[in-house]
A and B are shown apart, each in its own frame.
Chain A
């Protein structure tokens, strides 16, 4: 026993200390990184050579992009197990402009995207993410690349619900952590929200009759309604929202390069082609 103790003790204390330090540190730096990053964005923009991401693209010719590929038509995996969608095509075009020959997608759940970007697990987020003030406190966004907005989806045979006012007292399914939650809570407190983890579950709630409607981004709702046939999207426009690519605060030069590339794609017509491919004219 004595001998074993000598091996066990350092091993165990290391594990324990590591995990405890990790949690303490994790919390402390969450706040610290916010303020530190805020400071760096106020500083004069670094030159391209100083930017970690731009440098990495030059060296590896690869852009690493985080995405939650469960959101038609923005990003999903087709039957061939390939990443496809509006965001995916646009990112490929962007990467080419930025001088990256290859795009490497890292697939994760939506709630892992911002921590993953901060933890440098990838260079950029492309996952139909709305530009919001809350998110802007932690990360930066590129210029908007597509407008989206919230819409209501109901079952086709539901003639009762014609707009947001008919939803009072009814159950409405929303995806946790998305814009729809705050919007409905603030403006329509009478609506009972059913918060689910993924947009797939949101549709599932509606299909199984547990909720009366779903409030989500119009593009995704429309594609689902088209594929499914039993649900319909109401015309009423609840909000105007804009999608942006998520970028770390310290990569200002990279952000500028992305914005410049977006502008080039708009100017040369590539952007319009991709829009028409996924959303029609």
Chain B
């Protein structure tokens, strides 16, 4: 880069982009134009398919209409949001969704970490094992949900067959108000644990080996190294896995749609399925939009929390 001029940004230079452009080097302006040209198609798609629908959703959240006759709408102000408090469907659905997300995170994080530690060791055919672990992640959610529905069949499912073979009583699983949510949590965890393990594996491979070697020389056991060095240094990765799994769980649709239809007794009525059902079956797209707005705010809050929490105390 001999002869190239490196632009220097003064503190407070962002005060006026126009002023900066005027003073910018011709090459800098050319680079900006090129960047804009490259970014424009993506930004256009982003605006058309993300931000405009978001704006429409926000507008619809204060309307009352049906999909059968959308031109016959009425402005209802905040009534859709008030209905969320007046009726228990939103609370029940958000409650089931948070329980679902909590269960998934609680299962996935330790299992994924254990799996990553296992995969980080010197294994024969390590690549093959990693591929096997990742298989459920890349399998369609519809296929996974269908397979698990067969497995958990209360009369003829494989799991109940195994229980009966072991002399244990058959379980209702997806048809039980107490067992349906844990069952779909188990399914989601089974599908996502591989993804969590790969993330943890990346984190583990970034941990400086000399730290654990030094600790081992000082007499620390493997468990002490794990507890006092590895896990603290994996804080960023752990938080990332927690956030990703939480967001995945909040957006889960297939288990409720394909396995339980939100039942029994709304115990698995996950919020995205509830939004779909409210809009298309109950013909209340205004109310469904209001639910979507609240969900969006919750996901935004989680993202902000992520940005805050990712400021780890340890750096390496």
Q: Is chain B found bound to chain A in the same assembly?
A: no
